[in-house]
């Protein structure tokens, strides 16, 4: 049996090199201690490649059986923690191939026929990311379900709706939460859509130019569940659009998490007092015993910057790279891995945290009464009496000014005061000026009326299964 060149890093490439790699360069260029998480995808891809090589007569049936047996043992070793990851072997691919060759000899050496680490790593990352996208989709569903549950429980609870962080109009708290469900639903749609572009097979592109071996790339694609094959070998090995696109979608998802976080933080503060978060999602102060800090949403808000930073890093990584593969692309993994980890951890914790939100309806309603939230309702009332909207707008502005001066709400102005601004105003105006009347009046598709909130809850429940 011939020697295993991969036993020594100095001989991993070929006999061309006359001196071993320096220890500093070895550490600088190695990726095994972060890309070893790709091991399962690497073995999957290798087994599919070996199956195709055997079907094409490029390796024997005995070689295929030996490779399959060796990979089964490697899988067991990795899962049990017995596998020895070697810095000398640089990455997950060479570590697994070296161990395979130790176990099965020449059959292990034949595995690399018709492929390069360039198309191998591109395949591994796509396989791994595809599985992560599927898991993220499940987590997004759980978060949406949790928010829908809270929205249904609070379909009638009045919250001051804000624009410019000023009280604008009353909305149902359930309606407000369903706005985030819409955001996360779009995030889920983006994940499903980009998965199609992740799910394309680069294997068979070899180093950059394809290969002279008669590979059946479509067979490998079917075996691995890829929807398509990369059609250009240069693009197949050098493309990282799929990683950038995923990180862009992840960044937008985290922006939505950050917006929700900001509101939870504000609502929980003593200045608002609209909600409370369960103690297990908060921390105290080392010096102030009265403090209960919303650390989870605060940290999620901070982690949003981390994920957006990874997007910028990946885009900058690819800027100006000539075709085809370059060592620069080793830098795609850590930001991609960290983005996935951050996203999954955040979604898990937010689904659980959202389910435990304690709502304080009285505080919300008191706040809604502070900002003349039904002023637009009075304008709409006058329009229905025949006044042009711009004129109605002016009339109400004067009424609000008087209410401010008197220190009362619009609904507390006497009827004769209101009629002084427009004689068409009648006793029924007080129903219009109530927070509940304002809420119920917006009973159109997409509106905040409790009836509409419940209809949207039903729609989301059907959509989420």
What is the domain partition of the chain in residue ranges?
5-113, 118-365, 368-464
Q: Give the integer Cα–Cα distance in Å for 9 and 25.
A: 12
What number is the average pLDDT over the span 51-72?
98
Q: What's the chain's average pLDDT?
A: 95
Contact of 91 with 35, CB cutoff 8 Å: yes
Q: Which of 11-25, 130-144, 201-215, 327-341 has the lowest mean pLDDT?
A: 11-25
Q: Give the integer Cα–Cα distance in Å for 197 and 77.
A: 33
Residue 390 phi/psi, 5° resolution? -65, -35
Residue 92 pLDDT exceeds 90: yes
Residue 145 pLDDT exceeds 70: yes
| Helix (H), strand (E) at residue 228 | strand 228-229
Q: Give the integer Cα–Cα distance in Å for 284 and 370.
A: 31
Note the pLDDT of residue 5.
64
Contact of 52 with 64, CB cutoff 8 Å: no
Q: How confident is the model at residue 125 (pLDDT cuts 50, 70, 90)?
A: very high
Contact of 417 with 377, CB cutoff 8 Å: no
235 Cα distance to chain centroid: 26
Residue 301 pLDDT exceeds 60: yes
Residue 102 pLDDT exceeds 50: yes
What number is the average pLDDT over the span 235-257?
98
Q: Annotated catalytic residue: which of 10, 60, 269, 285?
A: 285
What number is the average pLDDT over the span 167-187?
98
What number is the average pLDDT over the span 6-24?
69
Q: Annotated catalytic residue: which of 2, 164, 271, 286?
A: 164
Contact of 375 with 410, CB cutoff 8 Å: yes
Q: How confident is the model at residue 18 (pLDDT cuts 50, 70, 90)?
A: confident
What number is the average pLDDT over the span 307-325?
97
Instruction: For 269-295, write each residue's pLDDT tens digit.
Output: 999 999 999 999 999 988 998 889 999
Contact of 365 with 160, CB cutoff 8 Å: no
Verify whether residue 46 is a known catalytic residue. no
Establish whether the linkage from the previous residue to 324 is cis, with ω within 30° of 0. Answer: yes
What number is the average pLDDT over the span 12-32?
82
- The length of the chain, given as a count of residues: 465
In sequence order, what are the beta bridge partners of 200?
A: 228
Q: How confident is the model at residue 14 (pLDDT cuts 50, 70, 90)?
A: low
Residue 2 pLDDT exceeds 60: no
Strands 200-201 and 228-229: parallel
Note the pLDDT of residue 334.
97
Residue 4 pLDDT exceeds 80: no
Verify whether residue 310 is a known catalytic residue. no
What number is the average pLDDT over the span 402-412?
93
- In this structure, which CATH number among 3.30.565.10, 3.20.20.70, 1.10.238.10, 1.10.40.30 belongs to the domain 368-464? 1.10.40.30
In the chain, % of residues over pLDDT 90: 92
Q: Give the integer Cα–Cα distance in Å for 423 and 64.
A: 92
Sorted by sequence, the CB contacts under 8 Å of residue 45 that are 6+ apart come out as 120, 123, 124, 127, 203, 224
User: For 229, what's the count of Cα atoms within 13 Å in the CB-facing half-sphere?
Assistant: 16
Instruction: For 358-391, write each residue's pLDDT tens digit.
Output: 999 999 999 998 889 999 999 999 999 999 999 9
Burial 143-178 (b: 16+ CB within 10 A, else e): bbbbbbbbbbebbbbbbbbbeeeebbbbbbbbbbbb
Q: How confident is the model at residue 19 (pLDDT cuts 50, 70, 90)?
A: confident
Q: Which of 13-22, 264-273, 300-309 has the lowest mean pLDDT?
A: 13-22
In sequence order, what are the beta bridge partners of 449?
A: none
Note the pLDDT of residue 3.
65
Residue 1 pLDDT exceeds 80: no
Note the pLDDT of residue 22.
86
Q: Give the integer Cα–Cα distance in Å for 313 and 339.
A: 12
Residue 323 pLDDT exceeds 60: yes
Q: Provide CATH code, domain 5-113.
A: 1.10.275.10
Contact of 227 with 199, CB cutoff 8 Å: yes
Q: Which of 183-187, 410-414, 442-446 has the lowest mean pLDDT?
A: 410-414
Note the pLDDT of residue 244.
98
Note the pLDDT of residue 20.
83
The fold adopted by the segment(s) 118-365 is: Fumarase C; Chain A, domain 2 (1.20.200)
Q: How confident is the model at residue 13 (pLDDT cuts 50, 70, 90)?
A: low
């Amino acid at each position: 049996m011939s020697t295993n060149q991969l036993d020594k890093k100095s001989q991993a490439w070929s006999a061309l090199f006359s001196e071993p790699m320096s220890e500093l360069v070895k550490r600088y260029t190695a990726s095994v201690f972060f890309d070893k998480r790709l091991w399962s995808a690497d073995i999957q891809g290798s087994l599919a490649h070996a199956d195709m090589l055997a079907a094409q007569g490029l390796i024997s049936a005995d070689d295929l059986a030996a490779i399959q047996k060796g990979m089964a043992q490697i899988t067991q070793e990795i899962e049990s923690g017995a596998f020895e990851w070697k810095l000398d072997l640089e990455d997950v691919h060479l570590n697994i191939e070296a161990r395979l060759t130790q176990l099965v000899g020449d059959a292990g050496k034949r595995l690399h026929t018709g492929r390069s680490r360039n198309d191998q790593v591109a395949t591994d990352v796509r396989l791994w990311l595809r599985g992560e996208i599927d898991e993220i989709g499940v987590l997004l569903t759980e978060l949406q379900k949790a928010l829908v549950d809270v929205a249904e429980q609070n379909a009638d609870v009045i919250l001051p709706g804000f624009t410019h962080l000023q009280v604008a109009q009353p909305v149902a708290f359930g309606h407000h939460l369903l706005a985030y469900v819409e955001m996360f639903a779009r995030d889920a749609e983006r994940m499903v859509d980009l998965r199609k572009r992740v799910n394309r097979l680069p294997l068979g592109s070899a180093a950059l130019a394809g290969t002279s071996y008669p590979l059946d790339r479509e067979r490998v694609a079917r075996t691995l569940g890829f929807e398509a094959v990369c059609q250009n070998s240069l693009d197949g090995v050098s493309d990282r659009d799929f990683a950038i696109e995923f990180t862009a979608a992840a960044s937008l998802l985290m922006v939505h998490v950050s917006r929700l976080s900001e509101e939870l933080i504000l609502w929980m503060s003593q200045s608002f007092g609209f909600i409370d978060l369960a103690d297990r999602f908060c921390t105290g102060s080392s010096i102030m015993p009265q403090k209960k800090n919303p650390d989870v949403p605060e940290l999620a808000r901070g982690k949003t910057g981390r994920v957006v930073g990874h997007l910028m890093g990946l885009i900058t990584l690819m800027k100006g790279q000539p075709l085809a593969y370059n060592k620069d692309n080793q830098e795609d993994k850590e930001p991609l891995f960290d983005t996935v980890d951050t996203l999954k951890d955040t979604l898990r914790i937010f689904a659980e945290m959202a389910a435990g939100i304690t709502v304080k309806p009285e505080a919300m309603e008191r706040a809604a009464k502070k900002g003349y939230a039904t002023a637009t309702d009075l304008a709409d009332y006058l329009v229905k009496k025949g006044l042009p909207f711009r004129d109605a707008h002016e009339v109400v502005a004067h009424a609000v000014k008087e209410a401010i001066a008197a220190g009362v709400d619009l609904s507390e102005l006497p009827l004769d005061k209101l009629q002084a601004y427009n004689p068409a105003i009648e006793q029924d105006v007080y129903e219009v000026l109530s927070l509940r009347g304002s809420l119920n009046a917006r009973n159109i598709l997409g509106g905040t009326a409790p009836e509409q909130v419940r209809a949207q809850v039903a729609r989301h429940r059907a959509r989420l299964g």
